[in-house]
Amino acid sequence: MFDLIKSLLSGGPSADPGREHERLQVAMAALLLEMAHADAQFHEMEGVLVRDLLQQKFELTAEAVAELLQLAQQERESTLDLFHFAREINASFTREEKLEVMEGLWRIIYADGVLDKYEDYLVRKLATLLRLSHQEMIGAKVKVLDQLRPNR
């Protein structure tokens, strides 16, 4: 299945529109992985969060998530920008789903308890690419912080 996704992603505009769900999975996984690696320190908890977010969102088995992450990592390493990943998400996700992605990004950021300057830059860039307002981005941040640290 994921060999087909890989060919679809590299296929450009001629890619089969019937496979958009698979392209969407790779796109979301790549953005989550990008955030997990943003501070140049990939923590185990970040990996767990990425796997959990993908498993819950797409109802995948652990084996399928592992394959998806491997492919997304390859795609992430071979691309120069994040625009085409965001384009897939923008084409398929509702605003509420994009806000869920933003909340997932904030969970990954705060997995180690620290907002690094590179993570801060990337989350702002991704909010723009996902066509979310600054207010929506901050709302997602506050929601996640309220859940993680209710007595802050």
Over residues 36-66, the pLDDT tens digits come to: 999 888 888 999 999 999 999 999 999 999 9
pLDDT digit string (tens) for 81-92?
899 999 999 999
Residue 137 belongs to what domain range? 2-148
Cβ atoms 53, 111 nearer than 8 A: no
For the chain, the domain total comes to: 1
Name the DSSP class of 18. G
Q: Which helix (H) or strand (E) holds 81?
A: none
pLDDT, position 132: 98
pLDDT, position 8: 46
Residue 129, domain CATH: 1.10.3680.10
Q: Which residue has the tokens 């308890």?
A: 113
- Segments of the chain scoring below 70 in pLDDT: 1-18, 152
Cβ atoms 71, 2 nearer than 8 A: yes
Which two three-digit tokens encode residue 115? 């907002």
Kindly report the pTM of this predicted structure: 0.84
